[in-house]
């Protein structure tokens, strides 16, 4: 038998008022869209200035509205503003306070405007600002990786495929790989910013307005390149938020990949690097342990950012044009993803700047696992003219011989090598050391220290 009293208890005290309380709670967005206060007031001030300039409202009313809005903004910034859930959103909260300050004149502000184009404008302004903030954080992280690359341009380490030792590379080359990734992230955020920099303001509810507004003026005032050309698209589009989240998810994935490497490299089994005490913690019961907590949390927070992208894609996928209340769900995932990404970037910059590689451990690992086998095969092709497939076969036989003897390739005698292929010359030893290996990879984009230094110089000039 159904127990209504139990159901009522499940609503809890917050919803003791029944359906009215539930509707207020589900409908209100002020709990999160208060973050748009500065953007909302900037948009309203631009709109009021335009209404005055076009004669839609009087100059005195326009001036009173704009000055009143500055007072509201100062109250919000000081923490003196009383937000009301009953007023639903940031727009109505600001307008209600404006009315209390300047009287009925405040009601003229919403002439030739809807909350639909208002929120679209506010949100674009906010996301645009986040693109700029992320760009600065990315540059700081790129510089941290460049500092590591410069310090370790000659430092030999193992290069991996399948997490198996593949070929020797330099520490500097590995660090520069992340500089390249982060540069693409910058490009994505900049591309998104350029596309989103159009003004929805003046689209009104969805069809435009019959008032003689000047959309070029408000767009210019708010730093947009132009007004959006279709009023339906202006209020229904959230591509700008999706692009931001997409760029954020890819960027977070890059951070997560390096975080994973830090977790592996700082383990007792690798000991490639030491993490700063500022970004690792001790175990509660095992005094010998240092846990890479900051790296692990960056790795985990990537899931939140990717989840935000999926959440907003799911919100938008079935919405007919133009505006639906579903779109109120656009802000929380974007706010959370932006906060999370900025924190992850700051944490990663700190970890990279404090990171201390162990050159001896890196060199030892670079020499393990017959990492110069490819250099030997390449030498057989260059020096003896063997087809690469035959050179690959000869090298494989030499690796097996070294394994049987429990030594590295460079430790095999010339006679032992010639037992596999009689044409091998003493010059073969010139390519077998890890230093010789990395120095030989001098093709553009290769791991040779000279190439690494050229790339470092290029990036330092590019970043200024």
Show which residues are catalytic: 162, 283
Conformation bin of residue 223: beta by default, left when phi > 0, alpha when psi is -120 to 50: left
Are residues 403 and 397 in contact, defined by beta-carbon separation less than 8 angstroms?
Answer: no
Angle at 458 between CA 452 and CA 464, to 5 degrees: 130
d(CA 261, CA 51): 57
Are residues 203 and 36 in contact, defined by beta-carbon separation less than 8 angstroms?
Answer: no
- Token pair of 32, please? 């999160």
Are residues 441 and 447 in contact, defined by beta-carbon separation less than 8 angstroms?
Answer: yes
d(CA 337, CA 360): 39
d(CA 47, CA 247): 31
Helix-strand-coil split of the chain, %, nearest 5: 70, 5, 25
Angle in degrees, 0-180, between the axes of helices 171-196 and 239-265, rounded to the nearest 10:
170
Q: Is 172 helix (H, G, I), strand (E, B) or coil?
A: helix
Q: State the DSSP code for 357.
A: E
Contacts (Cβ under 8 Å, ≥6 apart) of 3: none
Interior/surface letters 396-415, b for 16+ CB within 10 angstroms, e for the rest = eebbebbeeeeebbbebeee
d(CA 395, CA 417): 10
- Token pair of 441, please? 């990879």
* Of residues 345, 350, 259, the one with CA closest to residue 297: 259
* Of residues 366, 353, 388, 382, the one with CA closest to residue 438: 366
Angle in degrees, 0-180, between the axes of helices 373-384 and 388-405, rounded to the nearest 10:
130
Ranges of beta strands (E only) in 111-252 are 156-161, 164-170, 198-199, 226-227
Find the farthest-apart pair of alpha carbons in the chain and give their distance in angstroms, rounded: 100
d(CA 215, CA 227): 6
Ranges of beta strands (E only) in 162-247 are 164-170, 198-199, 226-227
């Amino acid at each position: 038998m159904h127990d209504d009293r139990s159901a009522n208890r499940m609503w809890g005290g917050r919803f003791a008022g029944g359906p009215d309380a539930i509707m207020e709670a589900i409908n209100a967005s002020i709990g999160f869209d208060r973050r748009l206060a500065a953007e909302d007031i900037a948009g309203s001030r631009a709109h009021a200035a335009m209404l005055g300039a076009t004669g839609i409202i009087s100059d005195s009313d326009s001036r009173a509205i704009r000055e009143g809005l500055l007072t509201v903004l100062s109250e919000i910034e000081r923490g003196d503003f009383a937000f009301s859930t009953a007023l639903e959103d940031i727009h109505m909260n600001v307008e209600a306070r404006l009315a209390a300050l300047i009287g009925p004149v405040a009601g003229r502000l919403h002439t030739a405007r809807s909350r639909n184009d208002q929120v679209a404008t506010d949100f674009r302004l906010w996301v645009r600002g986040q693109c700029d903030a992320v760009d600065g954080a990315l540059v700081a992280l790129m510089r941290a990786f460049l500092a590591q690359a410069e310090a370790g341009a000659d430092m030999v380490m193992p290069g991996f495929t399948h997490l198996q030792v593949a070929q020797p590379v330099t520490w500097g080359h590995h660090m520069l790989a992340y500089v390249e990734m982060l540069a693409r992230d910058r490009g994505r955020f900049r591309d998104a910013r350029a596309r989103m920099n159009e003004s929805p303001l003046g689209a009104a509810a969805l069809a435009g307005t019959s008032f003689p507004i000047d959309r070029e003026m408000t767009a210019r005032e708010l730093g947009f390149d132009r007004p959006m050309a279709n009023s339906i698209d202006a209020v229904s589009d959230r591509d700008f938020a999706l692009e931001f989240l997409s760029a954020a998810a890819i960027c977070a994935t890059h951070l997560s990949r390096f975080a994973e490497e830090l977790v592996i490299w700082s383990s007792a089994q690798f000991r490639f690097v030491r993490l700063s005490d500022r970004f690792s913690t001790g175990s509660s019961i095992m005094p010998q342990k240092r846990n890479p907590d900051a790296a692990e949390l960056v790795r985990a927070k990537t899931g939140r950012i990717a989840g935000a992208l999926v959440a907003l894609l799911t919100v938008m996928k079935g919405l007919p044009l133009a505006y639906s209340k579903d779109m109120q769900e656009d802000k929380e995932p974007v706010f959370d993803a932006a906060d999370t990404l900025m924190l992850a970037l700051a944490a990663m910059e700190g970890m990279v700047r404090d990171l201390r590689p162990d050159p001896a451990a890196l060199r030892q690992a670079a020499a393990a696992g017959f990492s110069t086998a490819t250099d030997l095969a390449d030498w057989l092709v260059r020096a003896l003219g063997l087809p690469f497939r035959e050179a690959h076969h000869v090298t494989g036989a030499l690796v097996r011989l070294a394994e049987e003897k429990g030594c590295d390739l460079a430790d095999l005698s010339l006679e032992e090598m010639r037992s596999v292929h009689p044409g091998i010359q003493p010059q073969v030893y010139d390519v077998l050391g890890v230093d010789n290996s990395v120095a030989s990879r001098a093709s553009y984009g290769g791991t040779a220290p000279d190439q690494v230094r050229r790339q470092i110089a290029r990036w330092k000039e590019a970043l200024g």
